[in-house]
Amino acid sequence: MVHILFWVIWMSASIYLGQQWQRYEPTKLPLDGLAALAMFPLAVGITFLAL
């Protein structure tokens, strides 16, 4: 149950931060997108470790 809550919070934060980056620093968006993709497997790993 805890890992599901963690996942929802993580995804919500990622979407919110992505919107903030797009609004204020559009030139950095591609780099931030790559960073977000790099963090995704890490988030999955942490989620499974929390099981």
Contact 9, 46 (CB under 8 A): no
Domain count, the chain: 1
What's this model's pTM, rounded to 2 decimal places?
0.37
Q: Are 1 and 51 in contact (CB under 8 A)?
A: no
Please check the confidence at residue 13 and state whether its pLDDT lies above 70: yes
Give the confidence band of 40 by pLDDT, cuts at 50, 70, 90.
confident
Q: What is the pLDDT of residue 44?
A: 76
Residues 6+ apart with CB under 8 A from 32: 18, 21, 25
Residue 43 has pLDDT above 70, yes or no: yes
Residue-level pLDDT at 46: 76
Q: Please give the residue range of the domain that contains residue 15.
A: 1-50
- Residue 35 near residue 25 (C-beta atoms within 8 A): no
